Chain A
Amino acid sequence: MSTLEISGLHVVVGSGRDAHLAVNDVDLTVGPGEVVGLVGESGSGKSTLSRAIVGLAPVRSGRIVFDGEDYAGARGRRLRRLRRRVQLVFQDPRASLDPRMTVGETLAEAASAHRRLDRAGRAAEVRRLLELVQLDPAHAAARPAGLSGGQRQRVSLARALAVEPQVIVADEVTAALDVSVQGAVLNLLRDLRAQTGLSLLTISHDMAIVRYLSDRIAVMRSGRIVEQGDAAQLLGAPGHDYTRLLLEAAAGEAA
C-alpha cells in the first residue's frame, strides 16, 4: 500500500478564450488505507481534480506521485499502470455505464483489461464483484436501464474494483441517487474500505457525507484547497470562513 501524493497541481480546462484554471496549486495526500474527504461547492474544481488524477483532464503543471513515480501528464503504458492502482467512480451511473452492454459484460471487460482470464474465470470474477458490492449475481444479465439508480452505482463501483486498485476516487457517487438508497451506497464504501484496506478520496458537496466517511477533510473553493486537516479538528475548529459557511449550511437549514 502506498501513498497518493498530489503537489502543486494546476489543471486548465477549455481552450482559447474559454480556458480557465479549474485546479489551482492543489496539494493533497491520501495515505494508505486513509479516507480523505474533499468538499466544495459545484464548480469549485473537485470533479476536474478527480479526473486529472486518473489522467482524464490534462495537467498543466504539478506532480501526481504514487509509489515513488510521478504520473502527472502520463500517457500510454504509464497511464495504464497508474489506473491499475488508482480508480475513479463517476458521479452519474446512468451516464457512465454503456447502455448497450449487460452488467456482466461491463464487469468482465474491466476485469480482463489488465489480466488474462478465460471464459470461466471471467464469469467467476463477475460473480465475485457483484457479491462484493452486495448485488445479486443474477443481475449480470441485466442492462443498466433495468436497474435502479442505487444498483447502477454499485455496478459502477464494482467496475472500478475489478482492476483491484489501491486507491478509489469517488466523485459525488451519491449525488444522482435518492436519499433512501444513498445511505446504502455510502455504507458499502465504508464496508469495502474496512474489508480491503482501500484508500479512498471521496468527493462531495455535502459536508455531512464527508464527515461521516473521512479521516481527513480538504475544503476546496474556486480551484484551491482553502483548508485541510484532521476531520475532527477541522470540523471542531474551522479555520476558513468558507468552511464555516459549509458547516453552518450542513448543521441547520436556513431560509
Chain B
Amino acid sequence: MRRMLTPGRLLLVAALLALLALAAFGPLIWDDRAEALDTVALQQGASWSHPFGTDELGRDLFARTLVATRTSLLLAAATAGLGFAFGVALGLLPLLAGPRLRSALATTINLLVAFPGLLLALLVATIVGIGSKGAVIALAVALAPQCARLTQTLAGSVGGSEFVAASRVVGVRWPRLLGRHVLPNIAPPLVLQLAASLSAALLALPALSFLGLGVQPPDYDWGRLLGDGLDRMYVTPMAALGPGIVIVLAGVIFNATGDMLAAALASERPDRGRRRRARRAAAAGPAVATADAGGRDEVAAGASADGGRAAAEPVLRVEQLQVALPDGDGEVVPVRGVSFAIAPGERVGIVGESGSGKSLTALAAAELLDAPAVVTAETVALDGEPVRELPRRRRDALLGRALALVPQDPLSALNPALRIGGQLTEAARAHRGLDREQARAVALERLEEMRIDRPQQRLRQHPHELSGGMRQRAVIAMGMTVEPRLLVADEPTTALDVAVEREVLRALRAANERDGTAVLLISHDVGVVGGFCERVLVMYAGRIVEELPAAEMRERAVHPYTRALLAAVPDMAIDRDRPLATIPGRPPHPREVGAGCAFAARCAHASARCAEARPPLRAHGDPAAGRRVACWHPQEGVTADTAAAPAEEERS
C-alpha cells in the first residue's frame, strides 16, 4: 500500500478534496458577495478586487464562479451518474439475454453509438423540456451509448470466462453473478469511463447552457457564466477565461482521479499487481545477477558430459548458464548454473515440471530471451563459436544459420497473414543465399520429408488452413530449410493428441537422421523424452539434478526425484486397487530455493545434510558412461518401488 501514496497522488487527493469542499461550502461563504449588486462597477475587466471582473449587474464573477461550483458539479455528477448507470445496465443486458435477443441488443447499442451524441441530447432536451433537469437527462442519454458499448464488450469477455461458467453450473443466479463476478472484474475500465463521463458532462453542460437549454436564470452554473462571458470575450476576456479554466481544472482532476482509482482496483488482483511491479522493476534497469555460489563444481563434470562423443566439437556447449527475472523489488533466479553439451547429431532431452527452468534454459541457450530476463553464462558455444561474445551482426547470422526453434504453439512461429510458401523460403534465402526457385525447391523437399501431403498446394495455403499437427510439422520443415546444426524443440507436442504427437516426433526424427541435425527436446512428458532422446537431463528448481542415457532412465535412474517422477506417471500396468504414486508437496518457487537440495523437502531419502548443503552435480559410476547426478543419497536398484506415500500432499 505504500506505493499508493506518491507525492503526485497526494496532491491529486488534496485537489479533489478542495474541489469538493468548494462545492460544499462555497455557496455558504461567498453567496452574499456573488449576489451583491454594484451599480458603479458594471461589466468590469479583471482587477485585484474582481479577479474575473464583474457582470452586467456589477456582481463579482470570481465569487459567482466559486459559488457555481456546487451547481456545476452536482449537475455533472447527476448527468454522468445517470448516463453511466443507464449505459452499464444496457451493456449488461446482452449477457442475460438469449442468443437472438443478444444480437438485437448489440445492434441497438452499435446504432446508438453511431448516432451523434449532441444531436441526441438536443432532441431529448427539447422533448423533456428546457432547464437543468432537461439538460441532465438529455446529456445522460447522449453519454449512455459509450458506456453501454464498453460494458457490453468487457462483460462479454468476462461473462464467457470459465469461472463464470463454473459459478453458473454450481447454481449461482444472475444478479449475484453480475455483482460478484462480472462487475468486479470489469471495474477498472468502467471507473475510467465514469471519470471520462464526468469530464464530458462538465464540458457538455456549458454547451447546452450556451444554447439556452441548460440552467435558466436566476440560477447559474459554470456553463452559464462561460456563455455570458463569451459575449464580452474581446472586451473583458477573464469573464469567459475564468470559468473556462475552472471547468478544465475540474475535468483534469476527475480524469486523474479515475486513473488512480482504476489503477488501485486493478492492482487489488494479486497476480496482476505482481506483474506490474515486475514490469516496473524491469524498467528501472536490470539488477546484476548475483552469481550463485557453489555452482562451480558443475563445470568439470560438464566437460565430460558428452561422454563417448567427446571427440567431436559439440554443437552446443553451455556452462554455468543462469537466468534471472525481476520479481517484485528484487529478482528470482529460475535457472541456476546449468552446464551441458550436445554432440553433433545427438538427441538430448530436458525433462522437468512447470517452473523447473527447462524452457528458460533452452531459450537462454538459443539467445532467445529478451529484457526483463538477465542471462549470464561462462560459455555458450554454438557450433564452436562463443555466441554471447560475438558482435550483434555475426551473432544473428550464426544463430540464423546454425539453430532453429520449434515452439510449443506453431501459430506463434507462423505469420497468419502470409502464405506458408513465403514463410518457408524466407529463412533459406536470408541465411543460405538461395534464390527464390532454389528456396522453393528446398521448402518442398522439407515438406515431403515431414510427410506433409500435397506439399505444392500447402505452399499456397495460409497457416489456418493447416491442422495443428501439420502446422507443427511445417514449422519443423521451416526450421530445417536452413540446414541447422541444432533444432531446439520446446514442448513441440504438448497441445497435440497422441496420433499427431507421433507424426511430429517422427518428423523430428527424420530431420535428425537424414541431416544429422542435433535435437534438443524440452518436455514435461517423461515418456516422450524417454522414447525420443538418447540422453536425458532432468531439471528441478533451476538445476540439472540428473543426466543419464534415456535407455537407462526407466530402470536405473538414481536421483530420488527422477525415480519419483517416473513412478508418478500412470501407465497401463498400474494396480487399480492401490492409490497412485505421488510426490508429496510441490516444486519450490524460485524464491523459495534455499541453500540445501531443493528436492529435500519432498524426498523420502533426505537427511540433515540435504537440507544444509546442496549436492553438486557429479559423475556417477564410470565417467565414460556420461552419467551425472546431484544427490547425497543416490538410490540404486529397480525404480518401481520408489512410490512415495500419497497422504499429505500439499497440505502445508
Instruction: Point out residues on A near B: beta carbons under 8 Å.
Output: 15, 41-43, 51, 54-56, 80, 83-84, 87-88, 90, 92, 95-101, 109-110, 113-114, 134-136, 143, 145-146, 148-151, 154, 156, 159-160, 162-163, 178-184, 186-187, 190, 205-209, 211-212, 235, 245-247, 249-255
Contacts and interface: CB of A to CB of B under 8 A. Distances in A.
A143 B274 CA distance: 14
Given A97-B163, A150-B650, A88 B169 contact: yes
B582 A187 contact: yes
Nearest to B582: A183
Given A183-B580, A186-B580, A163 B170 contact: yes
A145 B271 contact: yes
Contacts of B496: 42
Given A187-B580, A254-B502, A207 B572 contact: yes
Given A208-B574, A250-B572, A255-B509, A179 B166 contact: no
A36 B542 CA distance: 39
Nearest to B164: A98
B524 interface: yes
B112 interface: no
A95 B163 contact: yes
Interface residues of B, number: 64
Contact of B161 (A95, A135, A250): A95
27 contacts: A43-B497, A56-B168, A87-B169, A90-B162, A90-B165, A99-B270, A101-B180, A135-B650, A148-B650, A150-B586, A156-B166, A160-B169, A163-B171, A179-B568, A180-B568, A180-B582, A183-B582, A183-B646, A184-B650, A208-B571, A208-B574, A211-B576, A249-B498, A250-B572, A251-B572, A252-B531, A255-B532
A178 B353 contact: yes
B269 interface: yes
Given A41-B498, A186-B570, 4 more contacts: A88-B169, A99-B269, A207-B572, A208-B570
A100 B185 contact: yes
Contact of B176 (A95, A109, A246): A109
A97 B180 CA distance: 12
Contacts of A156: 166
A95 B162 CA distance: 6
Nearest to B512: A255
A152 B434 CA distance: 52
A184 B498 contact: no
B270 A206 contact: no
B485 to A, nearest CB: 21
Interface string B56-100: 000000000000000000000000000000000000000000010
B564 A180 contact: yes
B499 interface: yes
Nearest to B182: A98
Given A96-B166, A98-B185, A254-B531, A212 B582 contact: no
B649 interface: yes
B549 interface: no
A93 B623 CA distance: 45
B170 A179 contact: no
B568 A145 contact: no
Contacts of B583: 180-181
Contacts of B497: 41-43, 205
Contacts of B164: 98
Contacts of A114: 171
Nearest to B529: A253
B569 interface: yes
A88 B165 CA distance: 10
Contacts of A41: 497-500
Contacts of B650: 135, 148, 150-151, 154, 181, 184
A113 B171 contact: yes
Q: Please indicate which of the listed interface residues B167, B497, B576, B650 has the most CB atoms of chain A within 10 Å of its own CB.
A: B650
A128 B611 CA distance: 35
B505 interface: yes
Contacts of B506: 255
Contact of A113 (B165, B172, B509, B651): B172
Contacts of A181: 582-583, 586, 649-650
B626 interface: no
A146 B166 contact: no
Nearest to B581: A183
Contacts of A160: 169-170
A143 B163 CA distance: 14
Nearest to B564: A180
Contact of B528 (A95, A99, A162, A253): A253
Nearest to B643: A183
A156 B497 CA distance: 25
Given A99-B271, A110-B172, A253-B530, A187 B646 contact: yes
B47 interface: no
